[in-house]
Structure 1
Amino acid sequence: MSHSLQSMWRVGLAGDEQKELLINSFTDRFKQCIEEKNYILIRFDIIQGLGKLYDEIGEEEIKQKASDLIATEEDGKYQKKYAAVWRNT
């Protein structure tokens, strides 16, 4: 599963419709995976995927969505881990 999430961001490069679908899917997955085993890794892969998409197309909407998702993380340790992905962008 992790490898799929790590490469899925590329779908967002195909066009505006695909980008919106990807962002919405990532957002839903980020919110819904909380009950799963390894949800922290899933969330990290999603944030990282959004970061890679942002690096490629530079749209502020992507950065804002990632920031909003990071802000929903209740554990400060993991919130910092997710935010670290964006310090390099």
Structure 2
Amino acid sequence: MMHHVFGPHFLGAPLFPGVPNLVLFILFGLGVWYFLKRDKQTEPQAPNSGHSKISETEALRDEIAQLKKENALLRELLKRDLEKK
């Protein structure tokens, strides 16, 4: 009886010769399940502690201070170069 229910012509004629549609149906379901599970795992995670945010903020402030110093020096060099011409 099971051969007649889940035989090679389950869900109609085979899409690929030699591969029953039940096997294709199961493989398709597993593929959908895998990609749905993978998408849930790749959602962004919240940081565990605020310490990393604080150190990142301090690093950014240090970099901004360094860039301001470099900007002031470059303006001074440009001013001197313009005065020479």
TM range (shorter): under 0.3
Q: TM-score, normalised by structure 2?
A: 0.27
Structure holding more helix per residue: 1
Give TM-score, length-normalised by structure 1. Answer: 0.26
